[in-house]
A and B are shown apart, each in its own frame.
Chain A
């Protein structure tokens, strides 16, 4: 299932496959599939709400779902507790962590009920904290979350907290100083961090060949003294396996892992972007062939796990779910300014 990986991580392969075999029953896989359908439906709806002038800005996760969801599911499965520092393109990450479509839409429409920041931040930015799972996304300035994740892991190490920290980012982030500084520190102190680079090959419009002189970002991991793994990020089961192993390494105290998940960005950078100015129709068509949802569906049908009827049902249920969520989120109130000045400092 693992399409490719660099040599530094081949050691982990056997153990990972073993674990996957234990867990991934047809029921589990069908559950994954219907959740991925739900996220895709929600993502499309959010885009339409933007085009209706209701959602100010969106960074779609279409094409990244397999990586985002596979990674969260694996991390939740294999860590006693988890802190995720996602980047801004994280709708599928959010849903995988348990954010509901209604909550996501409240956030996308900047309503008072936005669970992450009450409408203060861009969609899904802020913090959603449960005892076992913390999702922290302070900013969308590229790569700033890398030191945050490393520092969080350092804090866990110091306080004896067994939480594993995971952070996600794009290929563009790996050009930033903060990425280097954070990776370096995590490598030095062998902190329990899983770095997941969702490499969609383009930083807004700049192709990878203009960002770095290498084909696999994962090659850089060796420079920080940690394994660098390349995985097909459109294959949810491959991602699950690789991230699962990285999380177990972290739990075992073996230090950080860098995972490069090769994904596709099916839509423009954000709703404010027009990728036809820098991507050819051929490129866009080619990417659609690598659509993770399509690939997963084909795989499940090949395996006889998914039928056309079940697929249709999944889409129907997803649409109904998203319709209900849209209705609820649209009807919900905007934040009022009563607490506008709150939370600048600790209240005395």
Chain B
């Protein structure tokens, strides 16, 4: 078989050799270890011995050529198994990294700003040429470096730069660092400041709404600063926590509520007369959800860092829009109530919410939240989870649509989307789907025989 003869790597730090006299010519029979050609390198002059027994069939380089170590210099015909002779020539597994020309790699000192406590570091401005040379580096630079022209010591001033521990504590506790007063060097926010803030906030929450408004950013000339109400601030913090701490996913499906609509129609007048409260769709939905939570206990849970904490009780919160803002009063032990009971309980608590008369226990302990966005006319909503719960369900507007029924009959049906935002750490799409289908199945199973009491 024909084989290529390569110039071997000989000598530490040697990269190329100059071909000297060929000691064999094409057609010669060569024994293994017999000298083939003279080679001169920076370090040694040597005779290169043949790696094979065989016949020389071609010379690929001529006397005086400079050849890189490893490059082919001749061809032979040999009957030997070639692999064997290659065995001891170690080939690295990794590929040699291509050396890409990087253009200008440095920056002029005059284009830099001092950085660091001593001003000895330099901050490199993001120039166009730098972007062209190394886009990834400059992207990082622009993302991480605030536009502040001051060195690091000054950057601490006004709390614009936060230490790693401060950032992570803020994230963990959902703290807006702009709200925290710094006690460190030049007003820097320290770890202790965040801890103190969290403590104070917890104390304030306990006796809401007496939350002092912390100093914030001043309004500009064409702006108006509207002071935050305590409830607005709590909503903001909770939404922030939800958005930053929970990886949320969303899914929706549609439910045929034609028979639910019929059932409610048939019962609502009598119910109002008898109970003094209206019969809405909400208690039907709550009942279906509570039963579905029992069937899918992971949806009624919370993330525990290294575990999932399942809630044995089912306390469904109802998102209620009030003039003050969103509140979520909770109907405790939802699963133990009848539709009538749920109608009365929800009516009462919603009324209290609207009147601003919620008690502390009314808003505590929710394990799942129901958000009837349908009342706003919405047909699809992606809500944020009510932190730290595992999921929130929306019920959208009931809309009459032309539907194709089994057997291809066409009919006008009352349709409603339900949507679920869920904590993807706890639940996968399949879990969410199972839960929603459970709700759907229950809602669609409602008939004229469904008990109200």
* A contact residues around B409 at 8 Å (CB): none
When A52-B51, A53-B89 are in contact, do A272 and B11 touch as well, CB less than 8 Å?
A: yes
Kindly provide the distance from the CB of B9 to the nearest chain A CB, expressed in whole angstroms.
Answer: 5
Task: List residues of A (105-159) whose CB comes within 8 Å of B's CBs.
Answer: 109-111
Top 6 A-B pairs, shortest CB-CB distance:
A53-B8, A54-B88, A48-B49, A53-B9, A274-B44, A330-B88
Given the complex of chains A and B, what is the CA–CA distance between A276 and B11 in angstroms? 16
Given the complex of chains A and B, what is the CA–CA distance between A324 and B435 in angstroms? 73
CB <8 Å contact, A271 and B11:
yes
Interface status of A179 (Cβ within 8 A of chain B): no
Given the complex of chains A and B, what is the CA–CA distance between A54 and B50 in angstroms? 12
* B contact residues around A272 at 8 Å (CB): 11-12, 43-44
CB <8 Å contact, B84 and A331:
yes
* A contact residues around B8 at 8 Å (CB): 51-54
Kindly provide the distance from the CB of B14 to the nearest chain A CB, expressed in whole angstroms.
Answer: 8
- Would you give the 0/1 interface string for A267-309, flagging 1 where the beta carbon is closer than 8 Å to chain B? 0100111101000000000000000000000000000000000
Given the complex of chains A and B, what is the CA–CA distance between A216 and B84 in angstroms? 49
Q: Which residue on chain B has the smallest CB distance to residue A45?
A: B33
Kindly provide the distance from the CB of B56 to the nearest chain A CB, expressed in whole angstroms.
Answer: 16
Contact of A274 among B45, B48, B69 (CB under 8 A): B45
- Would you give the 0/1 interface string for B6-21, flagging 1 where the beta carbon is closer than 8 Å to chain A? 1011111000000000
Kindly provide the distance from the CB of B176 to the nearest chain A CB, expressed in whole angstroms.
Answer: 47
Kindly provide the distance from the CB of A324 to the nearest chain B CB, expressed in whole angstroms.
Answer: 13
* B contact residues around A45 at 8 Å (CB): 33
Interface status of A20 (Cβ within 8 A of chain B): no
The interface of chain A, by Cβ under 8 A from chain B, is 45, 48-57, 109-111, 268, 271-274, 276, 327, 329-331, 334
* A contact residues around B49 at 8 Å (CB): 48, 51-52
* B contact residues around A327 at 8 Å (CB): 84
17 contacts between A and B (CB under 8 A): A51-B8, A51-B10, A52-B51, A53-B89, A54-B8, A54-B88, A54-B89, A55-B88, A109-B88, A271-B11, A271-B44, A272-B11, A272-B12, A273-B44, A274-B44, A274-B45, A331-B84
CB <8 Å contact, A57 and B12:
yes
Given the complex of chains A and B, what is the CA–CA distance between A298 and B85 in angstroms? 37
Given the complex of chains A and B, what is the CA–CA distance between A50 and B14 in angstroms? 13
Interface status of B453 (Cβ within 8 A of chain A): no
Given the complex of chains A and B, what is the CA–CA distance between A272 and B9 in angstroms? 11
* B contact residues around A271 at 8 Å (CB): 10-11, 44
Q: Which residue on chain B has the smallest CB distance to residue A57?
A: B12
* A contact residues around B12 at 8 Å (CB): 56-57, 272
Given the complex of chains A and B, what is the CA–CA distance between A271 and B44 in angstroms? 8
* B contact residues around A48 at 8 Å (CB): 33, 49
Task: List residues of B (50-72) whose CB comes within 8 Å of A's CBs.
Answer: 51, 69
Q: Which residue on chain A has the smallest CB distance to residue B88?
A: A54
Given the complex of chains A and B, what is the CA–CA distance between A316 and B320 in angstroms? 101
Interface status of B226 (Cβ within 8 A of chain A): no
Kindly provide the distance from the CB of B37 to the nearest chain A CB, expressed in whole angstroms.
Answer: 11
Q: Which residue on chain A has the smallest CB distance to residue B46?
A: A51
CB <8 Å contact, B48 and A52:
yes
Contact of A51 among B48, B69, B88 (CB under 8 A): B48
Kindly provide the distance from the CB of A319 to the nearest chain B CB, expressed in whole angstroms.
Answer: 10
Kindly provide the distance from the CB of B410 to the nearest chain A CB, expressed in whole angstroms.
Answer: 70
* A contact residues around B85 at 8 Å (CB): 330
* A contact residues around B51 at 8 Å (CB): 52
Known: A274-B43, A330-B88. 8 other contacts (CB 8 A): A49-B88, A51-B49, A53-B69, A54-B8, A57-B12, A271-B10, A273-B43, A273-B44
* A contact residues around B11 at 8 Å (CB): 271-272
Q: Which residue on chain A has the smallest CB distance to residue B90?
A: A334
